Amino acid sequence: MRLASEKMPMDDMITDSLDDRDTPSWLQGENKAKAAQIAGHFAKIMKVLGLDLSDPHLLETPDRVGRMYMEIFRGLDELQEPSITNFPNSEGYSNMVIVKNIDFFSVCSHHMIPFFGKAHVAYIPGETIIGLSKIARIVEFYARRPQLQERLTDQVVGYLEGKLAPKGTMVVIEARHLCMEMRGVEKSGALTTTSGLRGCFEDERVRDEFFDLLKTMFQILIKLFYQLILIMILV
């Protein structure tokens, strides 16, 4: 045992430093202890279910689950909030900025079962703008916690409003919830859509522009195809 007064060998110091560097931030410090606590509780759940913890396929499962929970719920740690840099809107850009089809995964607060889908985020700049990748990081941050789709939508809108003070913000989220696919009503493929809006997006014309821009080229071609069919029938 090394005494407190003894110095740690340089090789050990380098190794420890490398270990800390290689360990994800969501598993460092007190988060590592939390993962161990979760593992202990999950082992008890497995025993209640009658699972054999000596099975080589289950032996390390509690530890894996503990680490996994700290990873997928890392949005609970406010230190993980993405760093946002505001840039001046020097060009005076006043039209819509949309980042669509942002994939996300979250976990339903009610049953602790995943829900996942796509987020579409738009804002009309005021005096500042942000990097487009930051919008995806904001969605990721709020999704990585036990969540409700409605709350996730409002949190993304609120964050952008607070950080950017834009002329308007709108968020639409489409998601599949496994809590209604693999249990309960068991309706596979059901899609839930939520929306949140502030500022100039309360104007119906601005909202219509947003939804038009969300449409994919495939959807546009399908619409044109059906319009052509209708014209041919009428003629």
Q: Does residue 117 share a domain with residue 142?
A: yes
For residue 24, what are the domain limits? 10-72
- 62 burial (CB, 10 Å; 0-12 / 13-18 / 19+) is buried
* Residue 129: strand, helix, or coil: strand
pLDDT at position 227: 79
Assess contact for 168 and 141: CB atoms under 8 A: no
Q: How many residues does the chain have?
A: 235
Residue 131 backbone phi and psi in degrees, to 5: -65, 140
Asked whether residue 200 is assigned to any structural domain, the reply reads: yes
- 122 burial (CB, 10 Å; 0-12 / 13-18 / 19+) is buried
Per-residue pLDDT of the chain (235 residues; tens, 9 = 90+): 444 444 445 444 434 444 555 788 888 888 999 999 999 999 999 999 999 999 999 999 999 999 999 999 999 988 888 888 999 999 999 999 999 999 999 999 999 999 999 999 999 999 999 999 999 999 999 999 999 999 999 999 999 999 999 999 999 999 999 999 999 988 888 999 999 999 999 999 999 999 988 886 556 666 777 778 878 887 6
Asked whether residue 145 is assigned to any structural domain, the reply reads: yes
Asked whether residue 19 is assigned to any structural domain, the reply reads: yes
Whole-model pTM above 0.85?
no
Q: Does residue 183 share a domain with residue 119?
A: yes
pLDDT at position 111: 95
Asked whether residue 234 is assigned to any structural domain, the reply reads: no
Asked whether residue 211 is assigned to any structural domain, the reply reads: yes
- 232 burial (CB, 10 Å; 0-12 / 13-18 / 19+) is exposed
- pLDDT tens track for 121-176: 999 999 999 999 999 999 999 999 999 999 999 999 999 999 999 999 999 999 99
